[in-house]
Amino acid sequence: MKNLLYKERRLAASPLSYFFLAFSLMTFLPGYPILVGSFFVCLGIFYSFQQARECGDVTYSVLLPVRKRDVVTAKYRFVLEIELAAFLLCAVFTALRMRLLGQAAVYAQNPMLNANLCYLGFILLNFALFNLIFLGGFFKTAYKFGVPFLIYTAAGILLVAAAEVLHHLPGLEGLNAPDRVDAPQLAVFGLGLLVFALGTFLSHSASVRRFERLDL
């Protein structure tokens, strides 16, 4: 597994997977749907799968003296490394924005979703969608990924729209607090964490079963 993961990081991965981590800096943008930054992180991962397919990486991997399930697990671990790196960056930037810039006019009067615990929860929900829809869809064939990514994109757009609408509803204004943590934010973050963990586990389990049945 260690060698497979090393291959994912150094050979199969597109440089864009690492470069697109910089979109975490969108956390600081006022007047913009900052949740889109996590979509670009997923787009960077998509490019790694595209590069791997064009290079015949999956076929090469199954010819190695490893279990087929380990090929799937290595891909999932690489994806999780990128997602968690992006999440940690966004968490640090969110803490800085709330602590040092929360009372700045551009954030205090921001009509879009502010960087806070709710924002971090939605990032986890977005990554959960990617793992369930794109990764789960890819391992149905271990080759086709265009349709799964389009479906994920549509779901991601709906998630961004929901994130931007919810905090405008009566009673949910606390979701957009720029400098404090409210109970609604904790609820969204807890939901995001639960869905991310459970969704990724279920997606991985389904992908292992599908991939072991595939005749490559």
User: CA 123, CA 36: separation in Å to the nearest integer?
Assistant: 9
Looking at residue 216, what is its pLDDT? 63
Residues 44, 82: contact at Cβ < 8 Å?
Answer: yes
1-40 pLDDT tens trace: 888 888 899 888 999 999 999 999 999 999 999 999 999 9
What are the pLDDT digits (tens) for 66-77? 899 999 999 999
- Confidence class for position 123, pLDDT limits 50, 70, 90: very high
Closest-CA residue to 187 (of 200, 172, 201): 172
pLDDT of residue 61: 86
| Cα 151–Cα 153–Cα 157 angle in degrees, nearest 5 | 120
pTM of full prediction above 0.85:
yes
pLDDT of the residue at 161: 96
